[in-house]
Amino acid sequence: MKAKNDKPTNEEQIRRLVNNWAKAIRARDMEGALAYHAKDVVMFDVPLPLQSKGIEAYKMTWNLFFDSNPGGKGSFELRELKITAGDTVAFCHALLITRGGKEPQGRLTIGLKKIRGNWMIVHEHHSYPIKD
Amino acid sequence: MKAKNDKPTNEEQIRRLVNNWAKAIRARDMEGALAYHAKDVVMFDVPLPLQSKGIEAYKMTWNLFFDSNPGGKGSFELRELKITAGDTVAFCHALLITRGGKEPQGRLTIGLKKIRGNWMIVHEHHSYPIKD
Protein backbone atom coordinates (compact mmCIF):
# COMPACT_ATOMS: atom_id res chain seq x y z
CA MET A 1 0.00 0.00 0.00
CA LYS A 2 1.32 3.42 -0.90
CA ALA A 3 1.65 6.32 1.53
CA LYS A 4 -0.65 9.22 0.75
CA ASN A 5 2.18 11.51 -0.20
CA ASP A 6 3.84 9.11 -2.64
CA LYS A 7 4.42 10.68 -6.01
CA PRO A 8 2.33 9.00 -8.71
CA THR A 9 4.30 6.47 -10.76
CA ASN A 10 5.25 7.29 -14.33
CA GLU A 11 2.43 5.06 -15.54
CA GLU A 12 -0.08 6.84 -13.30
CA GLN A 13 1.12 10.25 -14.49
CA ILE A 14 0.77 9.19 -18.13
CA ARG A 15 -2.66 7.60 -17.60
CA ARG A 16 -3.90 10.85 -16.08
CA LEU A 17 -2.36 12.93 -18.87
CA VAL A 18 -3.84 10.81 -21.66
CA ASN A 19 -7.28 10.70 -20.04
CA ASN A 20 -7.25 14.49 -19.53
CA TRP A 21 -6.23 14.98 -23.13
CA ALA A 22 -9.05 12.72 -24.41
CA LYS A 23 -11.50 14.59 -22.17
CA ALA A 24 -10.36 17.89 -23.73
CA ILE A 25 -10.96 16.45 -27.21
CA ARG A 26 -14.48 15.37 -26.23
CA ALA A 27 -15.14 18.88 -24.85
CA ARG A 28 -13.71 20.48 -28.04
CA ASP A 29 -11.31 22.32 -25.77
CA MET A 30 -8.42 23.20 -28.09
CA GLU A 31 -6.27 24.61 -25.29
CA GLY A 32 -6.62 21.37 -23.35
CA ALA A 33 -5.99 19.31 -26.49
CA LEU A 34 -2.63 21.08 -26.99
CA ALA A 35 -1.61 21.34 -23.32
CA TYR A 36 0.46 18.14 -23.17
CA HIS A 37 2.38 18.39 -26.42
CA ALA A 38 5.98 19.19 -27.28
CA LYS A 39 6.59 21.91 -29.89
CA ASP A 40 8.12 19.39 -32.28
CA VAL A 41 5.31 16.79 -32.05
CA VAL A 42 4.92 14.56 -35.13
CA MET A 43 1.34 13.51 -35.88
CA PHE A 44 0.20 10.67 -38.16
CA ASP A 45 -3.53 11.41 -38.44
CA VAL A 46 -6.45 9.45 -39.92
CA PRO A 47 -6.91 11.70 -42.99
CA LEU A 48 -4.14 13.19 -45.14
CA PRO A 49 -1.56 14.75 -44.83
CA LEU A 50 0.83 11.81 -44.43
CA GLN A 51 2.38 13.54 -41.41
CA SER A 52 1.99 16.85 -39.54
CA LYS A 53 5.17 18.23 -37.97
CA GLY A 54 5.13 20.74 -35.11
CA ILE A 55 2.48 22.03 -32.77
CA GLU A 56 0.86 24.42 -35.30
CA ALA A 57 0.35 21.62 -37.84
CA TYR A 58 -0.89 19.38 -35.01
CA LYS A 59 -3.46 22.03 -34.03
CA MET A 60 -4.79 22.09 -37.61
CA THR A 61 -5.58 18.36 -37.43
CA TRP A 62 -7.93 19.06 -34.51
CA ASN A 63 -9.52 22.04 -36.27
CA LEU A 64 -10.34 19.57 -39.05
CA PHE A 65 -11.69 16.98 -36.60
CA PHE A 66 -13.86 19.47 -34.72
CA ASP A 67 -15.17 21.00 -37.99
CA SER A 68 -16.10 17.57 -39.36
CA ASN A 69 -18.61 17.08 -36.53
CA PRO A 70 -20.03 20.57 -35.88
CA GLY A 71 -23.17 19.52 -33.96
CA GLY A 72 -22.72 18.90 -30.22
CA LYS A 73 -19.78 17.15 -28.60
CA GLY A 74 -17.69 14.61 -30.45
CA SER A 75 -17.18 11.13 -29.07
CA PHE A 76 -13.57 10.21 -28.38
CA GLU A 77 -13.35 7.31 -25.95
CA LEU A 78 -10.28 5.19 -25.28
CA ARG A 79 -10.48 1.45 -24.62
CA GLU A 80 -7.75 -1.04 -23.57
CA LEU A 81 -5.24 1.73 -22.83
CA LYS A 82 -1.88 0.00 -22.33
CA ILE A 83 1.05 2.07 -21.08
CA THR A 84 4.74 1.08 -21.26
CA ALA A 85 6.74 3.61 -19.25
CA GLY A 86 10.44 3.98 -18.49
CA ASP A 87 11.91 6.84 -16.48
CA THR A 88 12.31 9.25 -19.41
CA VAL A 89 10.58 7.67 -22.42
CA ALA A 90 7.18 5.99 -22.69
CA PHE A 91 4.56 4.95 -25.19
CA CYS A 92 1.00 3.74 -25.00
CA HIS A 93 -1.66 2.35 -27.28
CA ALA A 94 -5.44 2.14 -27.17
CA LEU A 95 -8.50 1.36 -29.22
CA LEU A 96 -10.67 4.33 -30.04
CA ILE A 97 -14.39 5.01 -30.27
CA THR A 98 -15.21 8.03 -32.44
CA ARG A 99 -18.03 9.09 -34.76
CA GLY A 100 -20.63 8.20 -32.14
CA GLY A 101 -19.95 4.46 -32.47
CA LYS A 102 -20.49 1.86 -29.77
CA GLU A 103 -17.53 -0.41 -30.49
CA PRO A 104 -13.93 0.69 -31.08
CA GLN A 105 -13.04 1.03 -34.76
CA GLY A 106 -9.92 3.17 -34.51
CA ARG A 107 -6.44 2.73 -33.04
CA LEU A 108 -4.13 5.19 -31.33
CA THR A 109 -0.45 5.05 -30.40
CA ILE A 110 1.20 7.84 -28.38
CA GLY A 111 4.93 8.42 -27.74
CA LEU A 112 6.02 10.51 -24.74
CA LYS A 113 9.20 12.01 -23.38
CA LYS A 114 9.89 13.48 -19.95
CA ILE A 115 10.93 17.08 -20.54
CA ARG A 116 12.11 19.12 -17.53
CA GLY A 117 10.34 16.69 -15.21
CA ASN A 118 7.00 16.58 -17.06
CA TRP A 119 5.72 13.97 -19.49
CA MET A 120 5.02 15.46 -22.92
CA ILE A 121 3.53 13.90 -26.05
CA VAL A 122 6.03 13.97 -28.92
CA HIS A 123 4.27 11.57 -31.31
CA GLU A 124 0.74 10.43 -32.13
CA HIS A 125 -0.48 7.88 -34.64
CA HIS A 126 -4.23 7.56 -35.28
CA SER A 127 -5.71 5.15 -37.82
CA TYR A 128 -8.61 3.01 -38.96
CA PRO A 129 -7.88 -0.37 -40.52
CA ILE A 130 -8.66 -0.76 -44.21
CA LYS A 131 -11.75 -2.94 -44.56
CA ASP A 132 -11.30 -4.65 -47.90
CA MET B 1 35.00 10.20 -30.94
CA LYS B 2 34.08 6.83 -29.51
CA ALA B 3 36.55 4.11 -28.62
CA LYS B 4 36.27 1.02 -30.81
CA ASN B 5 35.02 -1.15 -27.98
CA ASP B 6 32.24 1.19 -26.85
CA LYS B 7 28.89 -0.51 -26.68
CA PRO B 8 26.46 0.93 -29.22
CA THR B 9 24.04 3.45 -27.69
CA ASN B 10 20.42 2.46 -27.21
CA GLU B 11 19.51 4.49 -30.30
CA GLU B 12 22.19 2.73 -32.37
CA GLN B 13 21.00 -0.69 -31.13
CA ILE B 14 17.42 0.13 -32.07
CA ARG B 15 18.33 1.57 -35.48
CA ARG B 16 20.18 -1.63 -36.30
CA LEU B 17 17.30 -3.80 -35.05
CA VAL B 18 14.65 -1.91 -37.03
CA ASN B 19 16.73 -1.88 -40.21
CA ASN B 20 17.43 -5.63 -39.89
CA TRP B 21 13.73 -6.27 -39.35
CA ALA B 22 12.77 -4.24 -42.45
CA LYS B 23 15.43 -6.10 -44.44
CA ALA B 24 13.89 -9.42 -43.34
CA ILE B 25 10.46 -8.21 -44.51
CA ARG B 26 11.89 -7.26 -47.91
CA ALA B 27 13.51 -10.71 -48.16
CA ARG B 28 10.24 -12.42 -47.11
CA ASP B 29 12.23 -14.01 -44.33
CA MET B 30 9.57 -14.87 -41.73
CA GLU B 31 12.10 -16.01 -39.14
CA GLY B 32 13.90 -12.67 -39.40
CA ALA B 33 10.60 -10.78 -39.33
CA LEU B 34 9.72 -12.40 -35.98
CA ALA B 35 13.20 -12.41 -34.44
CA TYR B 36 12.91 -9.09 -32.56
CA HIS B 37 9.43 -9.43 -31.10
CA ALA B 38 8.10 -10.10 -27.61
CA LYS B 39 5.57 -12.92 -27.21
CA ASP B 40 2.86 -10.46 -26.19
CA VAL B 41 3.37 -8.01 -29.08
CA VAL B 42 0.27 -5.99 -30.04
CA MET B 43 -0.01 -5.17 -33.75
CA PHE B 44 -2.24 -2.53 -35.36
CA ASP B 45 -1.95 -3.47 -39.04
CA VAL B 46 -3.11 -1.76 -42.26
CA PRO B 47 -5.95 -4.21 -43.01
CA LEU B 48 -8.39 -5.68 -40.49
CA PRO B 49 -8.38 -7.07 -37.80
CA LEU B 50 -8.47 -4.00 -35.55
CA GLN B 51 -5.62 -5.48 -33.49
CA SER B 52 -3.54 -8.68 -33.42
CA LYS B 53 -2.38 -9.80 -29.99
CA GLY B 54 0.56 -12.14 -29.46
CA ILE B 55 3.33 -13.43 -31.69
CA GLU B 56 1.18 -16.04 -33.49
CA ALA B 57 -1.39 -13.42 -34.51
CA TYR B 58 1.47 -11.10 -35.47
CA LYS B 59 2.92 -13.79 -37.72
CA MET B 60 -0.41 -14.13 -39.53
CA THR B 61 -0.32 -10.45 -40.52
CA TRP B 62 2.95 -11.10 -42.40
CA ASN B 63 1.58 -14.25 -44.01
CA LEU B 64 -1.19 -12.01 -45.35
CA PHE B 65 1.31 -9.36 -46.50
CA PHE B 66 3.61 -11.85 -48.24
CA ASP B 67 0.64 -13.64 -49.86
CA SER B 68 -0.75 -10.37 -51.20
CA ASN B 69 2.36 -9.88 -53.33
CA PRO B 70 3.38 -13.38 -54.40
CA GLY B 71 5.67 -12.39 -57.29
CA GLY B 72 9.22 -11.49 -56.35
CA LYS B 73 10.37 -9.49 -53.37
CA GLY B 74 8.11 -6.92 -51.73
CA SER B 75 9.24 -3.36 -51.22
CA PHE B 76 9.38 -2.21 -47.61
CA GLU B 77 11.58 0.84 -47.23
CA LEU B 78 11.70 3.15 -44.22
CA ARG B 79 12.21 6.91 -44.56
CA GLU B 80 12.71 9.57 -41.87
CA LEU B 81 13.24 6.99 -39.10
CA LYS B 82 13.15 8.94 -35.82
CA ILE B 83 14.08 7.09 -32.61
CA THR B 84 13.33 8.24 -29.06
CA ALA B 85 15.14 5.94 -26.64
CA GLY B 86 15.39 5.80 -22.87
CA ASP B 87 17.31 3.14 -20.96
CA THR B 88 14.48 0.58 -20.83
CA VAL B 89 11.67 1.90 -23.07
CA ALA B 90 11.81 3.39 -26.57
CA PHE B 91 9.65 4.15 -29.57
CA CYS B 92 10.29 5.18 -33.13
CA HIS B 93 8.34 6.30 -36.16
CA ALA B 94 8.99 6.33 -39.88
CA LEU B 95 7.37 6.83 -43.25
CA LEU B 96 7.02 3.71 -45.32
CA ILE B 97 7.36 2.83 -49.00
CA THR B 98 5.48 -0.35 -49.93
CA ARG B 99 3.62 -1.70 -52.95
CA GLY B 100 6.53 -0.80 -55.22
CA GLY B 101 5.93 2.96 -54.83
CA LYS B 102 8.57 5.69 -55.16
CA GLU B 103 7.31 8.06 -52.44
CA PRO B 104 6.26 7.10 -48.90
CA GLN B 105 2.52 6.62 -48.54
CA GLY B 106 2.41 4.65 -45.28
CA ARG B 107 3.37 5.36 -41.68
CA LEU B 108 4.85 3.12 -39.01
CA THR B 109 5.24 3.49 -35.24
CA ILE B 110 7.14 0.91 -33.17
CA GLY B 111 7.26 0.57 -29.36
CA LEU B 112 10.17 -1.28 -27.73
CA LYS B 113 11.14 -2.53 -24.31
CA LYS B 114 14.49 -3.78 -23.07
CA ILE B 115 13.95 -7.36 -21.91
CA ARG B 116 16.86 -9.16 -20.21
CA GLY B 117 19.28 -6.68 -21.76
CA ASN B 118 17.92 -6.86 -25.32
CA TRP B 119 15.59 -4.46 -27.09
CA MET B 120 12.37 -6.17 -28.18
CA ILE B 121 9.41 -4.87 -30.19
CA VAL B 122 6.20 -4.99 -28.11
CA HIS B 123 3.99 -2.83 -30.32
CA GLU B 124 3.64 -1.92 -34.00
CA HIS B 125 1.19 0.41 -35.69
CA HIS B 126 1.08 0.51 -39.53
CA SER B 127 -1.34 2.69 -41.49
CA TYR B 128 -2.15 4.60 -44.64
CA PRO B 129 -3.97 7.92 -44.33
CA ILE B 130 -7.54 8.04 -45.64
CA LYS B 131 -7.56 10.06 -48.86
CA ASP B 132 -11.05 11.54 -48.96
CA distance B69 to B18: 22
Tell me, yes or no, whether B41 lies in a domain.
yes
For the segment A89-103, what is each residue's pLDDT rounded down to a tens digit?
999 999 999 877 889
This complex has an ipTM of: 0.93
For residue B102, name the pLDDT band (cuts at 50, 70, 90): confident
Interface contact B109, partner A, CB < 8 A: yes
Determine contact: A131 vs chain B, CB below 8 A. yes
**What's the longest Cα–Cα distance across chain B?**
52
What is the tally of structural domains in chain B?
Answer: 1
- What pLDDT score was predicted for residue B72? 54
pLDDT score recorded for residue A71: 61
Among the listed ranges A34-43, A70-79, B8-17, which one has the minimum average pLDDT value? A70-79
Strands (DSSP E) found in B1-87: 37-44, 52-53, 76-85
3-state secondary structure of A60: helix
The whole-model pTM stands at 0.94
The rounded distance, in Å, linking the Cα atoms of A30 and A77 is 17
What per-residue confidence (pLDDT) applies to A67?
Answer: 84
Does A1 fall in a domain? no
**Residue B1, in any domain of the structure:** no
Tell me the pLDDT band of A38, cut-offs 50, 70 and 90: very high
Give the pairing type, strands B37-44 and B118-127: parallel
Q: B129 in contact with A at a CB cutoff of 8 Å?
A: yes
As a whole number, the mean pLDDT across chain A is 92
Write out the E strands in chain B.
37-44, 52-53, 76-85, 89-98, 106-115, 118-127
| List of chain B residues whose C-beta atoms are within 8 Å of the C-beta of residue A42 | 82, 93
At A32, the amino acid letter reads G
Asked whether residue A20 is domain-assigned, the answer is yes
Residue at B73 is within a domain: yes
Sheet harboring B37-44: ordered strands across?
B52-53, B37-44, B118-127, B106-115, B89-98, B76-85
Distance between CA atoms of residues A82 and B38, nearest Å: 15
What's the mean pLDDT in B73-100?
Answer: 92
CA angle B90, B91, B93 (to 5 degrees): 155
Distance (Å) from the C-alpha of residue B94 to the closest C-alpha of chain A?
Answer: 10
With a CB cutoff of 8 Å and minimum separation 6, the contacts of A124 are A41, A42, A43, A44, A45, A58, A108, A109, A110, A111
Q: Is B17 contained in some domain?
A: yes
pLDDT at A80 over 70: yes
pLDDT (average), residues A24-44? 96
Domain that holds residue B112: 10-127
In the prediction, which pLDDT does A91 show? 98
Judged by CB atoms closer than 8 Å, whether chains meet at B93 and A50 is answered as no
Residue B30 is part of a domain; what is its CATH number? 3.10.450.50
Q: Rounded to a whole number, what is the distance in Å from the CA of B2 to chain A's nearest CA?
A: 24
Query: Is B3 among the domain residues?
Result: no
In a domain, A91, yes or no: yes
Q: Which of B96, B80, B92 is nearest to B25 (CA)?
A: B96
Q: What is the mean pLDDT of residues A80-94?
A: 98
Identity of the residue in B44, B91, B130 whose CB atom sits nearest the CB atom of A111: B91
pLDDT at A5: 66
Contacts of B75 (CB under 8 A, 6+ apart): B26, B97, B98, B99, B100, B101
Residues forming a β-bridge with B111: B91, B123
Q: In angstroms, rounded to a whole number, what is the distance separating the alpha carbons of residues B37 and B52?
A: 13
